[in-house]
Amino acid sequence: MSELNIGLTHPDYFMALLREKIQSPMARRDVVLHAAKVKAEEAVKMGIIDSAHDSAVETPEAALRMGEKLSLAARK
């Protein structure tokens, strides 16, 4: 069940985040106004998430790799 289904509204800060994460106005409209359910692969294409993984084991491994990458970049 989405926020739309139960009548909740999104605070301004959350809408600002969605505008930054979902660049396409049509995709943002579908997510916010139509409560579209977005699968992981589609979310990657839309730029909502950085990556999608096939198993629960792969997800934390990928998160650790990304954290290491970010840490190295921050040191430069």
Spell out the domain ranges in the chain. Answer: 3-75
Q: pLDDT band for 8, please (50, 70, 90 cuts).
A: confident
Measured CA to CA, the distance from residue 35 to residue 54 in angstroms comes to: 24
pLDDT of 4 strictly over 80? no
pTM confidence score: 0.65
Helix H segments across 7-76?
12-21, 25-33, 40-46, 58-75
Tokens of 28: 């943002």
Per-residue model confidence as pLDDT tens digits over 19-73 = 998 888 988 998 888 888 899 999 998 888 889 999 999 999 999 999 999 998 8
CA distance 1 to 59: 24
Contacts of 53 (CB under 8 A, 6+ apart): 40, 59, 62
